[in-house]
Structure 1
Amino acid sequence: MAEKKNKRPEAATAASQKCEFCKKTGSHYEVDYHLDRVPPEEFKKFRVLYDEGFYFSIIRCRRCRTIYKRNRYVDNEICNESDEDVYVELSEEELNDLLRFFKKRQKEFTSEIHRRLRGKISSLSRDERAVINIFCKCKKDQLSIYGLMEKAKEPLKSALEKLLKSLVKKSVLKTFEISTITHYRIVDER
């Protein structure tokens, strides 16, 4: 009879292939900013696979390809404040499911914005469409001037204010102020 070879479980194989930092980090890691803690510098070297800004991102170790999901939790409750990043290890399957979900959500939001702008979007210039795409990428129908400036890349960034004024004139965007900061909102005329 042939001998049965003991196969190592997938988790054990994955754990043995982790780099030193990921082994030390484990599958769950918390950084409590309220207690003046900061994330390790190694996390900055990870490749960003998906980023929703301040509150959520998915990162991958460049050395051992371990994947972490980062969630930011902020609670301003008096006497019980908390501000922390929580890193949770993901498998490749979980990563693929999440990326598929976010891609679908992005597509749905973009089609919603295009529905709102039906009839107007065809008359927009390429740069004006690029401004609308910033809203779509952020999955927000309103952004502050600072949020737009942060997301815009050159040469769009240098012409952004002119393009925003043009979009307001064309009734694609509405403008309003909150605490002296100008915000732009995509018009909903359905």
Structure 2
Amino acid sequence: MIGRINGTLIEKLPPTICVDVNGVGYDLEVPMSTLYDLPDIGGKVSLYTHLAVREDAHVLYGFLRADERLAFRTLIKVSGIGARTALAILSGMSSTELANAITQEDASLLVKIPGIGAKTAARLLLELKGKFTATTNTAEAQIPSAKSDILNALIALGYSEKESTNVVKNIAADVSVSDGIRQALQLLAK
């Protein structure tokens, strides 16, 4: 799993950008909030990423802030919400505004986003209740712990969410992501 990418921004074709990392250009799809905050072409950039492996494509999504990536990962777990819709939501509002809308159960903020109707907004409020913490500052938003990164890596490797969650519970809280993945794979191999 690709968790972060550092390199030189070489192309902006919304919603896709290209980042050169040691001679290899990575195409990433980004929300408009990230796109607006990127440096000019030729500038150095560091992005949190999410790799989606589908039958027909491997798609890399990029985010400037860890809380945006966490919000994206939470959104795509909602039935009927795909990556494109999650990007549209994060393009229309910050992760903090999303958390506040979910916490306050304010569907009117969600329906302002293109592609989000009343039924989808209601489903988002229902399924995301308790999964976001309202904050007043983006810096205060939840940052994924090493355990959640380990869990996401196991799921990306093809293990079920239930199986992965049970294994991650048996890993120490202060473990690094790479060591935690190694330990989890050893536990899964038994």
Q: Structure 1-normalised TM-score?
A: 0.25
Specify the structure having the higher radius of gyration (Cα).
1
**Length-normalised TM-score, structure 2:** 0.25
